[in-house]
Amino acid sequence: MKDLLIGIDAGTSVIKSVAFDLSGRQLAMTSVNNSFVTLEGGGAEQDLDQTWRDMARTVRDLATKIPDLAQRTAAVAITGQGDGTWLIDGDGLPVGRAWLWLDARAGHLVDEMRADPRDRTRFELTGTGLNSCQQGAQLAFMKKNDPDMLKQAATALHCKDWLYFKMTGERATDPSEGTFTFGDFRSRSYSDEVFDILDLATHRCLLPPMLEGTTDHHPLSRSAARETGLLEGTPVVLGYVDMVMTALGAGLYDRSGNVGCTVIGSTGIHTRFARTPGDVVLNGDGSGYTIAMPIPGAFAQLQSNMAATLNIDWLLGLARDVLAAGGAELSRDDLLKALDVWVEGSEPGSLVYQPYISLAGERGPFVDPDARAGFIGLSVKHGFGDLARAVLEGLAFAARDCYQAMGTMPGEIRLSGGAARSPSLRRIISAATRAQVRTSSRQEAGAAGAAMMAAVGLGVYRSMDDCAAEWVTPLLGDCDAYDEALSQSYDALFPSFVAARQALRPVWKTMAHRPLTRIPGAQE
């Protein structure tokens, strides 16, 4: 009996395979830590073949947890980290390593491209601000700096597209990544004008056709069946980009239109639901994403600040190093528990923290490859707990900053991501945004969103409405109202948060381009 769906989420940190029954109940999950390398000059690259081997391993491992997995699997659906450039040649072999969304090499080229008056036209077609994460910017950088690499390539894919190719032999992408990078979001098709503006018309041949996973799929190949342990011919569904799949699985799809979804993962992803193209709000700064959803006419309008839990990881790393120097060793879980204690013992709003700690700078709601993190207002009275609280408040202010760039604030925000388990962070985000907050008990929202597409595509449900009613709605927790007194405090502080990042942009640029002096013997 085909009573299972497998959702695969090939993320930046972890690659996961998750088994669901047809009603959306999660049965088992397996994972492998993802690996990539960072390079001098801002590069971030990942081995394509290793990614495929790691993904196949998670599926084989899943069979050790689920009896008769291969015989019971009705379909496999794939999503993964967005943006980036995964090149393959005519034989389907990798052309070098993949460039990830973390890659910052195209940052200053993007500054030049965004300064072109034609970029506004590109933004209004794609609904998406150009940044160094995207395949369009990365291909433009390669064309200028490494044209031989592009000459070897036959197809430019994204992470999930590469895995789909390895499973089915089909070169394809989906309407979400295809249109927000190179297309017209209203028609969900590639746009010749966008290719011209990006100066990539001669490389359009690298782009594969777009495949709608809720209506079309391909069978698992014989070679992929051997490597994954699944049955040859099992339907494989190409999901949308992980940002949309996670939002779908976490509860963004709500016909009321007054719902937002925030995912606090490596990045901070803040999404509002747009029921029609006319509901999309394009801002004057030309930032953010407009991403097709696997629902006719609907979009996820998204602003994503580059670093979310990366800021928390940095903070906890400082604490771990200090404790280790004194002979104490604490696990990450212990430090996360201590984080709430530090935060709750500190005064709200005593510092302003700007959470731009990624080496790639910032992409939402403004684009600046030189943006960097920092504390403002430090004095001798502040302790580590004040720093911890300021970091969480900085993440909440970044969420508010992003939502305001997309129009009115949502009345309800549905939280997902590992950091959403922190009671302190939930309370701070609710107060900073003046939105009711609730979390989903769905553990693997990205894999679930992909599996929901398979459930609709196979006819298990007549529509995504019916699927969401069973897969998503029952898992949403109660709404937590915001604290009015805390909201008033944050209302007063938020303008300073925005003013600080606006004022510091020339300082960031000066620091990024200053000459560096190497001290002999210093740690690189």
How far is Cα 198 from Cα 148, in angstroms, rounded to an integer? 19
Query: Does residue 229 have a pLDDT over 70?
Result: yes
Q: Which band of pLDDT confidence, cut at 50, 70 and 90, is reported for residue 263?
A: confident
What local confidence, expressed as pLDDT, does residue 218 receive? 97
How far is Cα 439 from Cα 435, in angstroms, rounded to an integer? 13
Query: Does residue 256 have a pLDDT over 80?
Result: no
Q: Are the CB atoms for 456 and 467 separated by under 8 Å?
A: yes
What does the pLDDT average to over 481-501?
Answer: 92
What local confidence, expressed as pLDDT, does residue 443 receive? 84
Q: Which band of pLDDT confidence, cut at 50, 70 and 90, is reported for residue 517?
A: low
- Laid out side by side, the sheet with 37-39 consists of 37-39, 43-46, 98-99
What local confidence, expressed as pLDDT, does residue 512 receive? 83
Q: What is the largest CA-CA distance in the chain?
A: 67
What local confidence, expressed as pLDDT, does residue 332 receive? 73
What local confidence, expressed as pLDDT, does residue 524 receive? 46
What does the pLDDT average to over 434-455?
Answer: 91
Q: Which band of pLDDT confidence, cut at 50, 70 and 90, is reported for residue 479?
A: confident
pTM for this predicted structure: 0.84
Q: Are the CB atoms for 29 and 18 separated by under 8 Å?
A: yes
Q: Are the CB atoms for 374 and 352 separated by under 8 Å?
A: no
Q: Which two tokens stand for residue 212?
A: 């709608």
What local confidence, expressed as pLDDT, does residue 257 receive? 65
What local confidence, expressed as pLDDT, does residue 397 receive? 94
Helical spans, DSSP H, in 378-422: 384-404
Q: What percent of the chain has pLDDT over 90?
A: 63
Query: Does residue 134 have a pLDDT over 60?
Result: yes
What does the pLDDT average to over 97-119?
Answer: 91
* Per-chain mean pLDDT for the chain: 90
Q: What percent of the chain has pLDDT over 70?
A: 97
What local confidence, expressed as pLDDT, does residue 49 receive? 97
Query: Does residue 30 have a pLDDT over 70?
Result: yes
Q: Which band of pLDDT confidence, cut at 50, 70 and 90, is reported for residue 306?
A: confident
3-state secondary structure of 126: helix
Question: Which residues lie closer than 8 Å to 465 by C-beta, 6 or more apart?
Answer: 253, 255
